Amino acid sequence: MLRRLPYGANYLQWDEMAELRGAIEDKALFRYISSGTSVSSRLERLVEERLGATRALAVHNGTEALRLALMGTRPSAGDPVYIPAVTFVAVAGAVLSCGLVPVPVDVDERCALEPALLPADAQRVIVAHMEGMVGPLPQGIPYLIEDTAQAMGGRHADGRHAGTAGYAGTFSFHHAKVLTSGEGGLVVVRDPDDWELLRSYHDHGSDREHGKYPVWREGSFYGENFCANEAVAAVQLQQFRHLDEILASLEQHHRMLSTELPDRPDIRQVPRTDGDVKVSVRIELDSPELRDRALNELTDKGLPCWTLDKYFLPGHPVVRDRASVYADGFPWNLDDGSERYRPRSRDGFRATRHLLARTLCLPLAPELDAAGQAQATKEVAATLAAL
């Protein structure tokens, strides 16, 4: 039976939870008071080794990871941050909550931000690897952040892991991600000095020694409490041990469905690269009407699928209406009308709107064995062929 979501949750096993049991028996779920090396620290070291990252830091969720990475750039209030026009609204929310202004940048057919549309003087750019599709990275950006929430384990064409090629990379363990602890996040950086700044900000701006009260020294700045929970980190550590298994099974199911899709001129498969995380097969149909018919037929048969329309940020009320919890509209009110705040698109996002209206994603099921994946593939392919 195909499950709509999630992926990693299907691999949660009580008999693999030695770290969780240890944290509970230690009666210390705050990472800085454990009797030995914290589970959070062990998770961070495993991430560094597995992804080839210089330093990693565990936080509560992927949005916090984005906020932390942005604060690490030492911005000025109202600075523009260029973000993909197609991504989850948390990206815009993270920018706004740091007192910065999100500026949508149009995307290509794989929903990756188009580097050519960025202004020459862009300082802060977030790219999002949507649906596991590892996108191109703009060059010469001082603070390039890779939002890798949906692409854990993906790779760039040069072999580097997604999330490790820019100034910082962020990851999510939300319930709908490749690995999950319900919630949870990670930020990785290349420069150890950047990590020290992020580590301080994520613990109230303090210096911290394990087992001791935080210390504030001359030159300390304020921060927030993003410190990881030991129980959640223990689940994440267990999840990481299944990453290669999940990725391999997704690849297997992707090969099956890609091969068996009906050969129709009005249904086109969006190509994936070797480095993509194959969480779905994405198809583009000739018209919004055909897309909606396919959506309804698959849903009626209990076959999971979804659209990407909800990720169109220029149409989201937070961005479209410049919504703010502040009475004075902060930080939107810091937009001075200059060119650097102008949304970046060749056609006012018309082509992207039309693309999203014709796009359908067919999720893959790593928890199924080969026979189960073959049966699911047969049902999806037959439904599309009969449209």
Q: Which whole number is the average pLDDT over 151-162?
A: 97
Q: Which residues of 105-134 are buried (b: 16+ CB within 10 A; e: fewer)?
A: bbbbebbbbbbebbeeebbbbbbbbbbbbb
Least confident of 114-118, 218-222, 356-360: 218-222
Q: Cis check for the bond before 262: say yes or no (omega within 30 of 0).
A: no
Return the H-helix or E-strand segment holding 381: helix 370-385
Same domain, yes or no: 283 and 173 = no
Do 202 and 72 fall within a single domain? yes
- The number of folded domains in the chain is 2
- 171 and 191 assigned to the same domain: yes
Per-residue pLDDT for 6 more than 90?
A: no
Q: Determine the average pLDDT of the residues in 180-209.
A: 95
* 92: pLDDT strictly greater than 70: yes
Task: Report cis status (omega within 30 of 0) of the bond before 75.
Answer: no
Among residues 176, 146, 178, 156, the alpha carbon closest in space to that of 278 is found at: 178
Tens digit of each residue's pLDDT (9 = 90 or more) over 349-385: 999 999 999 999 999 999 999 999 999 999 999 999 9
Say whether 243 sits in a helix, a strand or coil. helix
Q: Final residue of a domain: which of 219, 241, 263?
A: 241
Which residue type occupies 59?
V
Q: For residues 358 and 287, is the Cβ–Cβ distance under 8 A?
A: yes
> What is the residue range of 166's domain?
8-241
**What CATH number is associated with residue 276?**
3.90.1150.10
pLDDT value of residue 97: 98
Residues 214 and 272 reside in one and the same domain: no
pTM above 0.85, yes or no: yes
Mean pLDDT of 178-203: 96
4: pLDDT strictly greater than 90: no
Q: Given a cut of 90, is residue 38 above it in pLDDT?
A: yes
DSSP-assigned beta bridge partners for residue 281: 362
Q: Look at residue 1 and tell me whether its pLDDT is greater than 60.
A: no
Same domain (yes/no): 211, 252: no
- The pLDDT of residue 7 is 87
- CB-count exposure of residue 265 (10 Å: 0-12, 13-18, 19+): exposed
Q: How far is CA 325 from the centre of its chain?
A: 25
Residue 327 belongs to a domain = no
185-189 and 168-172 beta bridge pairing: antiparallel
Has residue 5 got a pLDDT over 70? no
Is the model's pLDDT at 243 over the cut of 80? yes
Least confident segment among 137-151, 183-197, 206-220, 316-330: 206-220
Q: How many helices (H) and strands (E) does the chain have?
A: 11, 10
Pick the last residue of a domain from 184, 214, 241.
241
56 and 91 share one domain: yes
Q: Tell me, what CATH number does 53's domain have?
A: 3.40.640.10
- Express each pLDDT in 273-314 by its tens digit: 999 999 999 999 999 999 999 999 999 999 999 999 999 999
- The per-residue pLDDT for 2 is 59
> Please, which residues have CB within 8 angstroms of residue 172's CB and are 6 or more apart in sequence?
61, 62, 65, 149, 150, 184, 185
Q: Are residues 199 and 142 in the same domain?
A: yes
Q: Per-residue pLDDT averaged across 55-76, rounded?
A: 98
